[in-house]
A and B are shown apart, each in its own frame.
Chain A
């Protein structure tokens, strides 16, 4: 594992893949290291942000030797997200992929997903595990306002918009499950490594 300097307060550990990034994230959350204030997994990295009390050299030497659990697949049941598949872009995704509407829905809801990382907006999880047949580009021009709960795809990722925001992903449907709630702690149901399934629901 290569450890890169990120200014004078942070280190970027290259884990090589997402699974190892999640294992390192889990290790750093289970047994927090002194002086570490933020641990942020990415697609193939973990960013470790420290405060000024931390010795970065020591931390850089320690991180690659951190004992990681063998297996990150948790015993917890995946989070089930109910979806009404009536999204504005469903027909467009069907025509882009050459599939029928029903087949798009079937493939999207058959997938087993993992939260790769969060970003873009609070609680916005990039879900890996999308059926390759459903990989479509983002819209050429993003919508100014996508409603909270919109279920969407773009590139290799699926996502649910946690709050109303601009967005260019293709909308397949909507969910009534509140993934993001600032009055909860933690506010997000999605965390790096959380497993997710989409469950089709009748129109409501």
Chain B
């Protein structure tokens, strides 16, 4: 069992979410940076979808009441186990009673703690993910919460010492694919989007990354009928400032999507922090 001593600004239980129910209004949810999340699980021999903890902007402390294997990936933090520093992107043994602490990350936003056996809170609609938009799944972690650990029976052996991970770029360049509604915007909208940096605003969250920068100008008036939305969509509300949809995005929406991130860029978008600049390229 794991006891939450401090969750930091926001910590939630996540797995790979609830795909396949968008037609019922259920967001996919799940770990925002799935690349880092899957790696964390592989390092401790878990299936990639085992539940772990998504720690937003560090500052978390977890006390382990049993001996366990863990790994920490994602936004680079100083990781301490009972006060002693440990490397990220590597399996670490935690003795019973030890406290695992994550400091504030030097870059990036979301770090992942996987524990061998996974976190065994109850599933809601086939997933243990906290969905901040719809309120499905467990509440965000609070001091004193107790998280059960699942069985490690039948898991693969831990056979990797450490995985080298590239540093997070100061100004990421995110690849986009135009459409599906780029024709709702002025002909130079994509040029505007790709020629100047945008800045991440503080009201960003797991639903979306809100951006400041040159607004995109509409080429046509009127209302778009509500349509299905995917993760990585750049939805443009009447302000003209795009929102990049993340894991807890609404399943349908009525504002036009000018472009969609390439799948590989979604993990990078999930690590953007308020005040950071980014660029788009087609």
B-contacting residues of A (Cβ < 8 Å)? 4-10, 12, 25, 37-47, 49, 52, 117-126, 163, 165, 182, 185-188, 191-192
B residues less than 8 Å from A4 (CB atoms):
179-181
Report the Cα distance A187→B21, complex, angstroms.
Answer: 10
B residues less than 8 Å from A122 (CB atoms):
21, 24-26, 134, 136
**Does B78 sit within 8 A of A, measured CB to CB?**
no
Given known pairs A49-B230, A119-B226, A187-B24, the reply for A40 and B252 (CB within 8 Å) is yes
**Does B228 sit within 8 A of A, measured CB to CB?**
yes
- B244-282 residues at the A interface, CB under 8 angstroms: 250-253, 257, 260-263
B residues less than 8 Å from A125 (CB atoms):
25
Q: Are A182 and B227 in contact (CB under 8 A)?
A: no
Extra 12 A-B pairs, beta carbons < 8 Å, given A6-B230, A9-B263, A123-B25: A5-B180, A7-B232, A7-B260, A8-B177, A8-B262, A40-B251, A41-B23, A42-B225, A119-B226, A121-B133, A186-B21, A188-B25
Report the Cα distance A126→B25, complex, angstroms.
Answer: 11
Q: Can you list the 10 inter-chain pairs with the closest CB atoms, starting with the nearest?
A: A47-B228, A43-B225, A40-B228, A7-B260, A119-B252, A42-B227, A4-B180, A118-B25, A45-B227, A188-B24
A-contacting residues of B (Cβ < 8 Å)? 19-26, 28, 124-125, 133-136, 177, 179-181, 225-230, 232-233, 250-253, 257, 260-263
Q: Are B134 and A121 in contact (CB under 8 A)?
A: yes
A residues less than 8 Å from B28 (CB atoms):
38
Report the Cα distance A182→B122, complex, angstroms.
Answer: 12
Report the Cα distance A8→B257, complex, angstroms.
Answer: 14
Report the Cα distance A121→B207, complex, angstroms.
Answer: 13
Closest-CB distance, A54 to chain B (whole angstroms): 12
Given known pairs A6-B179, A119-B251, the reply for A186 and B227 (CB within 8 Å) is no
Closest-CB distance, A118 to chain B (whole angstroms): 4
Closest-CB distance, A168 to chain B (whole angstroms): 14
Report the Cα distance A123→B26, complex, angstroms.
Answer: 7
Q: Are B257 and A118 in contact (CB under 8 A)?
A: no
Q: Are B24 and A118 in contact (CB under 8 A)?
A: yes
Most chain A CB neighbours (cut-off 10 Å) among B124, B226, B232: B226
A residues less than 8 Å from B252 (CB atoms):
40, 42, 117-120
The 6 listed contacts between A and B (C-beta, < 8 Å) are: A4-B179, A6-B179, A7-B232, A8-B262, A44-B225, A165-B135
Closest-CB distance, B280 to chain A (whole angstroms): 13
A residues less than 8 Å from B261 (CB atoms):
7
Closest-CB distance, A26 to chain B (whole angstroms): 11
Q: Which of B25, B227, B260 contacts A124 (CB 8 A)?
A: B25
Q: Which of A45, A124, A185 contacts B228 (CB 8 A)?
A: A45
